[in-house]
Chains A and B, each alone.
Chain A
Amino acid sequence: MVPDKTTLHVTIDGITLDVERGTTILTAAREAGVEIPTLCWHPKVSIMGACRVCLVEVEGLNKLIAACHTPVAEGMVVRTATPLIRKLRQTLFELLLARHPRDCWGCDKGGWCDLQALAFKFGPERHRFELPSPASRVEDRSPFVERDTRKCVMCRRCIRVCREVRGTSVWGAMYRGFDKKICTFFEFPLGSDFHDPFNCEFCGSCIDICPVGALTAKPSKYKTRPWEVETAETSCPFCGVGCRMTAHHRRGTLVKTTPVKYPDGNHSDLCFRGRFGTIHAAHPSRLTETRMGRDGEGKAISPEKAAAALAAVLAAAGTPGAAFVGAQSTEEETAALASLMASGSVHHPVFVLDSRGEAEAGEPAWPSGIRSATVDELATAGRIILIGHDFTFHHPVAGVRIRKALQAGGSLLLVDPLDTLLGRQAAAWLRVPPSSQAALVEQFRDELASACGASALAGFLDLVPGGGGEAGGKATEWLKGEGPLTVVIQKIPVQAPAVNGAAARLLEAAGGGSVVYLTPDANAFGASVIVRGVGPAADERALEDLLASDRRVPAVFFLRADPLGESARPELWEALRRRSTTWVVFDSFLTRTAARADLVVPVPLFTENAGSIRAAGGPGSFTRLYQPPPSVRDMLSWAGSAATALGKGLAWDGGAAGLDDIRARGRRVGQAPPAPVAPAAICRGGESFWLFARFHRFPGHRLELAEARAVIGPQECLEVHPADAGAMGLLDGERVTVEASGASAAFAVRVTPRTPPGCLCLPFDPSFGDVIRFMSALGPGFVSGGAAVSVRKG
């Protein structure tokens, strides 16, 4: 239906205005500057009409009308301030307050609380209905969300935001009438299993949308009052989605971060990293002094001595060393370190590392006709192909955008082996493990090109673990549909180039389209461009060569990179440590890598450091909320003083124009995509399973400081689909031995439909020593691909 655009006239409390047809009385009143209280209404979620505090009088109608869900009619005369309306609002708030705990002074929501503000303006003058004060019932089991059901006004906003925006459905209601309560499914503890697809993802949306103190954030509890904090907008320092957020800080400490509130409610989202992980910036363990000396035994030295020591390391490194820039560093920091590396007599190669310790190549150079889209544009995409691995864990907010597109009539072809709830909303869901995804996308292209009805795709899927079934036919049908394609690619180590190449060919066959390339880090695109712009860039292969060789490397520099703590192959980095004379680490925290360094130089936190970043979310920037401690200097300052000590100048002087030049030099223009690859994993049937790893360390050290690991970290187990477990007679918790090409290891089984049938999934983070050892025994290709294995009980 084409919406009728005619204008309607409406009078609200004597103010006449023109509004578009379909506008609600509430929206019209806000346009007219008339305040109508609302409690259950919120721009982000569907309209419920439950709280009734927005009732208004309409001339000619003998009953009261809810302003939130009644559209304006031509000539409508609305009154919102009559004695009757005033009285009923007072009574409704009186009823709510009759059982609301009267302890605003001890409530973390005080000053931020909608109920408090509304009751002040519209509430009763007396309290006729008293109820005995309810017993304290604070359910205190999750590390992030604090619940106090006594304060709940049952507006159901949390239920709606969880279901409609996040797609998780953690919240629901139980019981009836006065006994009704908002709770989890049968009151199970919140987040008892993070990796259960229906469990809480700790995005904090319900905390943001709760109008009262029923849901509050535990990490920021009692840290401040609203009138004491200062706020500023900044970018999230974690993944490549690049959400904008509001940082609340007080006396030089970050208190909490919340989503930027846009008036229409759109894009006001964060995930557990942006909502709770950012609090690492307030952690007391942040580095304030330069430390010199091997393996963390170092003693503090002054900034001047630190600069001299840096220069000495550079001067001593006669043969090329290496520098590693974490892809979360800002463009300015990257430019400063890269310039320093280029300033000496020897040019040291600079690599960008993602927060999994893998090479980061940045944004692929898409051939002409293929557009790079931002994450926010996903919300309006019509036809989306998503190629990923554990998508909603790694990039939850991109998932929110996709869900929004689906609600607006878009459709999704999902390639993700793991069950992340998006599968239920997809037109077709192919549970193909990462190792076969590039080959699968090549098949899509063939499918699109072929005119005949017979589907080669179904045949291909029959050979691939996790594929098969009806999904192939559905995918073929979907691919032959109309409309421009948007391909979302999640960067998976090593696999990404092949998937990118396949996607580029697919879109070329489809006559163009857009790509969203999601990286694990906030400045993945920016850092790579800068490194290429400053000097000859060192590529992925050079990194492999460096790690695999046995040549001595005199000096190694790290800027916000922690491969010892975050890489899936820590043994390679241990070997590098043994082969190098000096490690210099620039970081804000004593990471595992920093702990093994000879010189640890403190750089500012993301809250202390203005700088620009760029990833799939588009350009972003960090705002300097407060000054760092005096002994902490920014990267440009360290690089500058070290270069001065060497008697040289920096290639980049810190100016904006110079940075633009570097960006222009580093930007890649469209080039031919890499050649197709054969599927790495075609094995199905018989005794063997396809085993793949699920890597779970996403900016590990910072999240660990935010105490997130206990909740979102993986458990050591082997995930098996219920059908396969049934066939083998395996029960949850039983031990099995997995064998492949000479390596074997025993794991406890976890039976879960999250893992596709025919596959086994091995969740891990770099602290799982046994798993890491088993994986390295399976060979270097395992982490990014997988392996055919056999399984036996015991």
Chain B
Amino acid sequence: MTDQYFVAYRDIDAPGIGTLDGYQRHRGYEALRKVLTTMTPEDVIETIKRSRLHGRGGAAFPTGLKWEFVFQDHKTPKYVVCNAEEGEPGTFKDRPILERVPHRLVEAMIIAGYAISARRGYAVFRGEFIGPAASVRRAVAEAKAAGYLGENIMGTGFSYDLQVYRTAGAYICGEETALLEALEGRAGLARIRPPFPVNAGLWARPTALNNVETFANVPDIILNGPEWFAQRGTDKFPGTKIYCLSGHVNRPGVYELPAGITLRELIYEHGGGIPGGRKLKAVFPGGASSSCLTAESLDLVLDYASVAVAGSMLGSGAIIVCDDSTCMVAAARRLASFFRHESCGKCIPCREGTEHIHRTLTRINEGQGTMGDVDDLLDLCQIIRQTAFCGLGQAAVNPVLSTVRHFRQEYEDHCTGRGCRHGA
């Protein structure tokens, strides 16, 4: 069994790590000191680029490259924004960082600010993250009192401030441009891209917008060097990844593992297998918006590229396991109700389509549907995938399309009066 290896989660269980003193006992703010006293912004960007750190929010964009784009844009002021809108069902990897080692995020966001020459950063939380936001707010206050934030940090002439902001709480705000809209005080609706946030983000200024987990990797990359970071994980996806394991497993939870372990190892070794010795039926490897995989894909390597080749996506690393007692029609309906609720309502296909998906699935689930409904559903889902304005709508149909693809028989059973074999 591959051992867990902690980078983003390093010392997360150490006593007192949530406070400034405790964090400093565990090399806290050493990376910041190193950056401010020995490195130029270009050095920092170069280090991150050499580490080949990829974004952990779902798109896996190279972080160093993103910062370089922002650095090279001539518009000022520039901003650092942290996406702490962890809202994908099945994802709970950022919350421990925010609640237990908030200073790691603060430190990383200061480093990012230095790297792109920003003077201000925003940590944006989903509305429901009251505790995590309070934790980071406390850490910001401590860092400010200790001189890590504010004017002339550590006497280096670099000034930087951080602000914590909680949005009203909507899944769409996890989409980066919707998050920026919300941060600017409007309803979270995705913006037209391009321009991308690296060129025109917050208040149309260059913005480095990264996930919490991405930021949390930064201090140790600075401390230990990019080569140290890149020696773990796979060639294409170096470092560790935090997997959120949930559903029908014996030991659900968060696991920080070198990227590139297999689904089988994660579920059966780290997760302790499926309760009651039942058989695995389906896995959603990237949360509610990913396509499900079946037991045939158990030897799949869990990095972004491999999961994409298998026809799904790793997303934020939310692995939801369904055993053979699960009715996939009911599961699809449940996920469809989530997307119906969270569609922002901006574009026609997502706003109207998610409603019809939910209605049709409800009808099928209740045994009132026909196979014609299933065909209409597939047709509609394909159109939504191709026409929706943002990633939310495009991905919202994945659970439906994949469950029909892999478990068509169950749909037929519901539609032909044979009922649900799971009694759901």
Q: Is there contact, CB below 8 Å, between A177 and B344? A: yes
Tell me which of B15-23, B321-329, B348-356 binds A.
Answer: B348-356
B residues in contact with A175, CB < 8 Å: 345
Per the bound structure, the CA–CA distance linking A660 and B284 in Å amounts to 83
B373 CB, min distance to chain A CBs, angstroms = 9
Chain A: number of interface residues, binned into ranges: 20 to 34
Per the bound structure, the CA–CA distance linking A69 and B348 in Å amounts to 16
Q: Is there contact, CB below 8 Å, between B376 and A88? A: no
A residues in contact with B187, CB < 8 Å: 173
Question: Residue of A at shortest CB range from B339?
Answer: A177
Q: Is there contact, CB below 8 Å, between B355 and A50? A: no
- 0/1 interface trace, chain B 218-257, chain A, CB 8 Å (1 if under): 0000000000000000000000000000000000000000
> B386 near A: Cβ within 8 Å?
yes
Q: Is there contact, CB below 8 Å, between B348 and A53? A: yes
Per the bound structure, the CA–CA distance linking A261 and B356 in Å amounts to 38
Per the bound structure, the CA–CA distance linking A466 and B343 in Å amounts to 48
Per the bound structure, the CA–CA distance linking A479 and B233 in Å amounts to 63
- 0/1 interface trace, chain B 75-96, chain A, CB 8 Å (1 if under): 0000000000000000000000
Please, how many residues of chain B have a CB less than 8 angstroms from a CB on the other chain? Answer: 30
B residues in contact with A50, CB < 8 Å: 346-348, 389
B167 CB, min distance to chain A CBs, angstroms = 13
> B134 near A: Cβ within 8 Å?
no
Count A/B pairs, Cβ under 8 Å.
Answer: 92
Q: Is there contact, CB below 8 Å, between B343 and A95? A: no
Q: Is there contact, CB below 8 Å, between A88 and B345? A: no
Instruction: Out of B345, B346, B387, name the residue touching A55 (CB < 8 Å).
Output: B387
A residues in contact with B383, CB < 8 Å: 87-88, 91-92
Q: Is there contact, CB below 8 Å, between A178 and B192? A: no
Within 8 A of B (CB), among A21-46: none
Per the bound structure, the CA–CA distance linking A63 and B349 in Å amounts to 15
Q: Is there contact, CB below 8 Å, between A92 and B387? A: yes
Q: Is there contact, CB below 8 Å, between B345 and A95? A: no
- 0/1 interface trace, chain B 373-412, chain A, CB 8 Å (1 if under): 0001001100100111100000000000000000000000
Q: Is there contact, CB below 8 Å, between B348 and A95? A: yes
Within 8 A of A (CB), among B167-217: 170, 187, 192
B334 CB, min distance to chain A CBs, angstroms = 16
A63/B386 contact (C-beta < 8 A), A47-B192, A91-B380, A95-B353 known: yes
Q: Is there contact, CB below 8 Å, between A177 and B348? A: no
Q: Is there contact, CB below 8 Å, between B386 and A177? A: no
B residues in contact with A179, CB < 8 Å: 345
B residues in contact with A176, CB < 8 Å: 170, 341-345
Q: Is there contact, CB below 8 Å, between B348 and A51? A: yes
Q: Is there contact, CB below 8 Å, between B345 and A177? A: yes
Per the bound structure, the CA–CA distance linking A173 and B189 in Å amounts to 11
B residues in contact with A87, CB < 8 Å: 383
Instruction: Out of A92, A98, A180, name the residue touching B356 (CB < 8 Å).
Output: A98
Q: Is there contact, CB below 8 Å, between A128 and B192? A: no
Q: Which of B187, B192, B344, B388 has the most CB of A within 10 A?
A: B192
Q: Is there contact, CB below 8 Å, between A178 and B355? A: yes
Per the bound structure, the CA–CA distance linking A624 and B194 in Å amounts to 51
Q: Which of A52, A98, A156 has the most CB of B within 10 A?
A: A52
Per the bound structure, the CA–CA distance linking A153 and B350 in Å amounts to 13
B402 CB, min distance to chain A CBs, angstroms = 20
Question: Residue of A at shortest CB range from B355?
Answer: A178
Within 8 A of B (CB), among A606-646: none
Q: Is there contact, CB below 8 Å, between A177 and B192? A: no
Q: Is there contact, CB below 8 Å, between B387 and A64? A: yes
Q: Is there contact, CB below 8 Å, between B346 and A178? A: no
Q: Which A-B residue pairs are the 8 nearest by beta carbons?
A: A180-B345, A177-B343, A95-B352, A178-B355, A91-B383, A52-B387, A129-B356, A128-B376
Given A48-B192, A49-B389, A129-B380: 9 more A-B contacts, CB < 8 Å: A47-B192, A48-B346, A52-B349, A92-B383, A95-B353, A98-B352, A128-B376, A131-B359, A176-B344
